[in-house]
């Protein structure tokens, strides 16, 4: 069967700084200047204290692997050629959680709560996706 | 805030078999299920003043027909005042019942028909089904680009739950076996042949640790129920299935925003529902727990208090949840064995909860069942909805 192109993120206007930064291989988060929580994904107002005073800050890119799965069969059409690949839930040190892929890894080394570090993969001319890899000592 | 406890009842149920019916249009499943529910209830069709279809997922144009009154017209309902689509994915049966109950208790509606129908088995190709469930309810900005789909959602929860509790893949396979034992006794279920742990564990790996036989399959089907006041219910032929308590919580939309993917909001929703009902999980005779994947049946079963965290797997394994067991669970076979019909999985177990309490479950009847609990959840398990039912008002 014909494999469709990988889906690009459908960007909300207020999240554009996130994607612009990702293209420059920077992981940016919103931070509320009133309650000081970091925010992911980007919002129009702080989801914790409802303040409008949110700013963009660069994240450390460090976190832990909260959970993961290795996709071996029945992937969405656009991901057929990628199998096997890892879908993961990562908890950043800033206290936010994001979905991503774990790349540059031996599947057998994956464990919940292991440290991971951001890395960037170019999707196409318009988008670079933040992904993660295990931290090696 | 007023309680709905004991004011409203399910008085009629209808269902068509779940399966692959290329020659039957989706509206057949809706109208036939609704017709059966109306006849079962003993109400005159023209008493129905509110029709609540829930959405189908295989076709937007069919949803348009449901939205604009097709069911009411096909049934020839002469006193229908409102037709309004109620949809929250897999929790639609729970949220629809709650809305119907609120309207009936306030006098805004008298008799509500809730009806589900879908054609996911023959209205889509197999890959079309996978692709639909890799975008529907999944964030196109934050998760679709990473290959997220419902198998990965379930697997992420399973991996974390195993890590925290020490449960094994055999425990999840046991959920499939338990549900199958019930489906063997359910003429409306698609999968009715006996299933073993070994067969589940030998099936194809989809996304670790989720295997093909731990995954639901998509089918055509429909089911419906009739809701009216407890007062009106007294004059009707079925044993009234009273709504005793209800609890709900919406915890996320984008999956990564769920604070705890191995617990979700079930504990809070369950506590609310049991407190309102005035009974405890120990009083429950039959537990209709939403499955779709084994992990969700395990988590909800534990979190609403039917056992302690980490213990459900052993219960499913040793037969506590099987026919004749201590706490019969998901007695129609669930989406894992009756089949996944979109929002219908959650409606089918609502119908099954009522069926058990009415004493009309045939070969799989739980003898003397007085109290039942039913759960439902939509999207990437964005909400936790719990309803407690009884044939008496404690």
Spatial contact of B159 and B208, defined as CB atoms under 8 Å apart: yes
Any residues with CB less than 8 A from the CB of B366 and at least 6 apart, and which?
B285, B286, B328, B331, B356
In a domain, B196, yes or no: yes
The reply to whether residue B159 touches residue A7, judged by beta carbons under 8 angstroms, is no
Last residue of a domain, one of B198, B233, B268: B233
Q: What is the pLDDT of residues A88-105, one digit of tens each?
A: 999 999 999 999 999 999
Q: What is the pLDDT of residues B242-263, one digit of tens each?
A: 999 999 999 999 999 999 999 9
B282 plus B161 within the same structural domain: yes
Distance between CA atoms of B82 and B289, rounded to whole angstroms? 31
What is the Cβ-side half-sphere exposure of residue B293, based on CA atoms within 13 angstroms?
24
Spatial contact of A120 and A114, defined as CB atoms under 8 Å apart: no
B198 plus B227 within the same structural domain: no
Domain of residue B362, residue span: 137-216+243-390
Count Cβ–Cβ pairs < 8 Å, chain A vs chain B.
117
The reply to whether residue A127 touches residue B254, judged by beta carbons under 8 angstroms, is no
In a domain, B77, yes or no: yes
- Domain total in chain B: 2
A60-137: CATH topology: OB fold (Dihydrolipoamide Acetyltransferase, E2P) (2.40.50)
The reply to whether residue A99 touches residue B159, judged by beta carbons under 8 angstroms, is no
Give which of B354, B392, B388, B382 is closest to B273, Cα–Cα: B388
Last residue of a domain, one of B178, B203, B233: B233
DSSP-based three-state secondary structure for B98: helix
DSSP-based three-state secondary structure for A102: strand
Q: How far apart are the first and last CA of chain B?
A: 19
B162 plus B189 within the same structural domain: yes
B88 plus B142 within the same structural domain: no
CA dihedral B36, B38, B44, B50 (to 10 degrees): -140
Q: If residue B116 lies in a helix (H) or strand (E), which one and from where to where?
A: strand B111-119
Distance between CA atoms of B12 and B351, rounded to whole angstroms? 9
Q: What is the pLDDT of residues B339-367, one digit of tens each?
A: 999 999 999 999 999 999 999 999 999 99
**pLDDT value at B41 more than 80:** yes
- Average pLDDT of chain A is 97
Q: Provide the CATH number for the domain around residue B224.
A: 3.40.47.10
Mean pLDDT of B78-99: 98
B282 plus B340 within the same structural domain: yes
Distance between CA atoms of B347 and B223, rounded to whole angstroms? 7
Helix, strand, coil percent values for chain B (each to nearest 5): 40, 20, 40
B35 plus B94 within the same structural domain: yes
B68 plus B179 within the same structural domain: no
Provide the shortest C-alpha distance from residue A62 to chain B (in Å). Answer: 17
Residue B222 pairs in a beta bridge with B16, B117
Nearest CB among B131, B134, B141 relative to A10 is that of: B141
- Would you list which residues of chain A are within 8 Å, Cβ to Cβ, of chain B? 1, 6-12, 15, 40-41, 66-79, 82, 85, 87-89, 97-101, 112-113, 123, 127, 129
Provide the shortest C-alpha distance from residue B171 to chain A (in Å). Answer: 18
Q: What is the spatial order of strands in the sheet that A28-32 belongs to?
A: A38-39, A28-32, A54-58
pLDDT score of B322: 98
* Residues in chain B closer than 8 A to A75 (CB atoms): 130, 147, 149
Report CA-CA distances (Å) from B386 to B20, B91, B92, B137, B268. 30, 9, 12, 21, 10
In a domain, B238, yes or no: no
In a domain, B130, yes or no: no
In a domain, B131, yes or no: no
- Average pLDDT of chain B is 97
Q: How much is the ipTM here?
A: 0.98
The reply to whether residue A9 touches residue B159, judged by beta carbons under 8 angstroms, is no
In a domain, B132, yes or no: no
**pLDDT value at B1 more than 60:** no
As annotated, the residues of chain A forming the CATH 2.40.50.840 domain(s) are 60-137
> H-type helices in chain B, by residue range?
26-41, 60-67, 70-75, 92-106, 126-132, 150-165, 169-183, 197-202, 230-233, 266-277, 294-303, 312-318, 334-337, 344-358
Q: What is the pLDDT of residues B288-345, one digit of tens each?
A: 999 999 999 999 999 999 999 999 999 999 999 999 999 999 999 999 999 999 999 9
Q: How far apart are the first and last CA of chain A?
A: 42
pLDDT band, residue B129 (cuts 50/70/90): confident
Distance between CA atoms of B224 and B19, rounded to whole angstroms? 17
Q: Which residue is it, tokens 């309803």?
A: B387
Spatial contact of B102 and B72, defined as CB atoms under 8 Å apart: no
> H-type helices in A7-84, by residue range?
16-23
Distance between CA atoms of A46 and A33, rounded to whole angstroms? 9
pLDDT score of B382: 97
Say if B163 is an interface residue toward chain A (CB within 8 Å). yes
Q: What is the pLDDT of residues B138-184, one digit of tens each?
A: 999 999 999 999 999 999 999 999 999 999 999 999 999 999 999 99
């Amino acid at each position: 069967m014909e494999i469709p192109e990988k889906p690009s993120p459908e960007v909300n206007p207020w999240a554009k700084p996130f994607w612009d930064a990702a293209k420059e291989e920077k992981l940016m988060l919103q931070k509320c200047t009133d309650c000081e929580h970091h925010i992911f994904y980007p919002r129009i107002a702080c989801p914790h204290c409802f303040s409008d005073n949110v700013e963009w800050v660069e994240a450390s890119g460090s976190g832990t692997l909260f959970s993961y799965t290795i996709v071996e069969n029945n992937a969405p059409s656009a991901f057929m050629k990628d199998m096997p690949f890892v879908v993961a839930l990562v908890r950043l040190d800033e206290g936010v959680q994001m979905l991503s892929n774990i790349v540059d890894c031996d599947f057998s080394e994956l464990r919940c709560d292991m440290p991971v570090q951001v890395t960037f993969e170019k999707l196409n001319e318009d988008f670079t996706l933040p992904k993660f890899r295990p931290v090696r000592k | 805030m007023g309680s709905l406890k004991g004011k409203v009842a399910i008085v009629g149920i209808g269902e068509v078999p779940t399966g692959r019916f290329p020659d039957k249009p989706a509206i057949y499943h809706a109208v036939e299920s609704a017709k059966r529910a109306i006849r079962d209830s003993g109400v005159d069709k023209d008493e129905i003043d509110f029709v609540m279809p829930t959405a189908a997922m295989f076709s937007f144009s069919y949803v348009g027909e449901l939205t604009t009154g097709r069911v009411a017209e096909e049934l020839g309902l002469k006193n229908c005042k409102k037709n309004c689509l109620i949809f929250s994915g897999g929790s639609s049966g729970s949220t629809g019942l709650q809305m119907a109950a609120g309207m009936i208790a306030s006098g805004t509606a008298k008799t509500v028909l809730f009806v589900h129908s879908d054609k996911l088995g023959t209205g889509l190709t197999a890959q079309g089904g996978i692709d639909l469930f890799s975008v529907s309810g999944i964030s196109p900005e934050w998760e679709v680009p990473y290959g997220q789909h419902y198998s990965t959602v379930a697997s992420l929860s399973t991996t974390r739950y195993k890590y925290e509790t020490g449960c094994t893949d055999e425990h999840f396979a046991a959920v499939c076996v338990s549900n199958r034992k019930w489906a063997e006794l359910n003429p409306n279920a698609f999968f009715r042949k006996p299933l073993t742990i070994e067969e589940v564990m030998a099936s194809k790996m989809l996304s670790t640790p989720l295997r093909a036989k731990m995954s639901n399959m998509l089918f055509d089907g429909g089911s419906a129920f009739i809701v009216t006041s407890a007062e009106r219910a007294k004059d009707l032929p079925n044993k009234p299935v009273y709504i005793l308590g209800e609890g709900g919580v919406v915890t996320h939309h984008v999956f990564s925003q769920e604070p705890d993917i191995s617990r979700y909001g079930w504990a809070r929703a369950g506590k609310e529902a049991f407190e309102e009902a005035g009974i405890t999980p120990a009083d429950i005779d039959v537990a209709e727990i939403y499955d779709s994947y084994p992990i969700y049946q395990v988590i909800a079963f534990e979190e609403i208090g039917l056992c302690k965290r980490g213990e459900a797997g052993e219960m499913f394994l040793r037969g506590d949840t099987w026919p004749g067991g201590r706490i019969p669970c998901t007695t129609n076979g669930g989406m894992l064995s009756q089949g996944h019909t979109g929002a219908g999985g959650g409606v089918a177990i609502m119908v099954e909860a009522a069926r058990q309490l009415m004493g009309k479950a045939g070969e799989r009847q739980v003898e003397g069942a007085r109290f039942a609990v039913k759960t439902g959840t939509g999207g990437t398990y964005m909400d936790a909805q719990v309803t407690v039912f009884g044939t008496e008002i404690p």
